[in-house]
Amino acid sequence: MKYILTVITALLLFNCSKKEVKKETINNQKPFPLKIKDIEPNRVMSAAMQRSFKHYEAPRLLDNELYTNFKYTELKGFNYNNGNGTISRRDPSKIIYENGKYYVWYTHRETPTEPKGKNGANDTIPSTDWDLAEIWYATSKDGFTWNEQGVAIKRPKKPQPGWRSVATADILKFKDKYYLYYQAFNAPSGTYNEEKDAYDICPVAMSWADSPDGPWIPFNEVVIPFGKSNEWDWRVIHDPMPLVHNGKIYLYYKSGMDQRDKNRKHWDCWGLAIADQPEGPFKKHPLSPVMNSGHETILFPFKEGVAAIVGTDGIEHYTIQYAKDWVNFEIASVTQLLPTAAGVFSKDAFTDNPNADGITWGLSHFINAGKNWKKLYSKLGRFDCDLSQSTDDPSM
Ligand code: AAL
């Protein structure tokens, strides 16, 4: 009898500790005390209420460090030709602080007209807002007024990767050198290539420099290749976003789960590829895709894990998520007016700090379009938020 009781007690304890572990995986906080059954023990919950406690731990979504509002401010220092669609700046990189100033890299398009779609594009007319683009950079003392410094990565000569467009860069600082990872288009964006069975013919390229002011030296090899045709990321690799974790480079990227029918509808997901060196080889994590929603990749180290701003697109859009192990994300909060394609200022992006502070600001892009998408171009703007352990929310 004594033996049976001991076994039952052990089993009960094991069960409880399992539940605790599960709760701990979300945001490393103590369980929120409120449960509907504590208030009204006999209430039968509707499907929606059961779901909110079971899948989302709803009370936690309303009260935690990874909840914030976003406040937006127009930037000073950029000229957009009065918004006639011929100059565009979009997809800002993370922001880094070097030499007493902030640095950002972004897609810069300056073309004779606004984008005309894949059928209207030629050697000088862009198909999309990020076609025929270069990667430019700007610096700032305060994050509000920016001085455009000019081109960082030009389009190389045909047939080098990126001859058609280089876009959507992100920065890595690793062992005192700087690395820009970016999309290298070998055809107008949106063009389908039968031979390669891919859309943008746009794997990830990289250039490196000894200083954030360049000169940038092309690595001249694809660093993150497409998956095989039976893999989820066979079609495009977009939005490379490198961070440093455990001494390695953790690079998140966007690709799409394809429906593979004639409409080729796809569903944006994020993958993770890990390397010991900035040049690679990058090994794709076997659990990729690690995120089921979100258009552009927006991530930053938070405590010992990584937090993600999941903005537009997907079933879990407008959430902020957390992965203590950098792979398995859980929803931490649901919020609104999230930045688009943001580049964050994360002090700990490359420091491998086991208690990273988080972020309070960054840059977002805003897509401006006239009637019928005429004069389409994008602008950069600043956002402020409180996704940091150490500050108060400036937007409240
Ligand atoms: C962006 C990013 C990538 C896409 C396009 C330009 O916001 O997701 O960069 O290719 O849109």
Per-residue pLDDT, 91 = 98
Q: Which helix (H) or strand (E) holds 20?
A: helix 2-24
How far apart are the CA of 388 and the centre of ligand 1, in A? 27
Q: Which atom of ligand 1 is nearest to the CA of 340?
A: 7
What is d(CA 204, CA 228) in angstroms, rounded to the nearest whole number? 15
What is d(CA 62, CA 81) in angstroms, rounded to the nearest whole number? 43
Q: Is the shortest distance between the CB of 207 and ligand 1 below 6 Å?
A: no
How far apart are the CA of 200 and the centre of ligand 1, in A? 11
Per-residue pLDDT, 240 = 97
- Give me 80's structure tokens: 């957009």
Specify the residue with its C-alpha closest to ligand 1, atom 8. 296
Per-residue pLDDT, 36 = 59
Please report which confidence band the pLDDT of residue 202 belongs to, taking 50, 70 and 90 as the band edges.
low
How far apart are the CA of 195 and the centre of ligand 1, in A? 23
How far apart are the CA of 25 and the centre of ligand 1, in A? 31
Residue 295 pLDDT greater than 80, yes or no: yes
- Give the percent of the chain with pLDDT over 90: 63
Q: Is the shortest distance between the CB of 130 and ligand 1 below 6 Å?
A: yes
What is d(CA 194, CA 51) in angstroms, rounded to the nearest whole number? 44
Per-residue pLDDT, 25 = 37
pTM listed for this prediction: 0.87
Q: State the average pLDDT over residues 68-77.
A: 96
CA quadruple 42, 46, 47, 48: dihedral, nearest 10: -120
Higher-confidence residue: 44 or 110? 110
Q: Which atom of ligand 1 is nearest to the CA of 202?
A: 10
How far apart are the CA of 239 and the centre of ligand 1, in A? 7
What is d(CA 198, CA 348) in angstroms, rounded to the nearest whole number? 35
pLDDT tens digits for 301-326? 999 999 999 998 888 999 999 999 99
Instruction: Give the three-class secondary structure for 30.
Output: coil
Polymer length in residues for the chain: 396
pLDDT tens digits for 150-200? 999 999 998 888 999 999 999 999 999 999 999 999 888 877 766 666 666
How far apart are the CA of 311 and the centre of ligand 1, in A? 13
Q: Is the shortest distance between the CB of 184 and ligand 1 below 6 Å?
A: no
Q: Which residues pair with 266 in a beta bridge?
A: 258
Residue with tokens 């600001």: 361
Q: State the average pLDDT over residues 239-257.
A: 94
Is the bond into 112 cis (omega within 30 degrees of 0)?
no
Per-residue pLDDT, 42 = 73
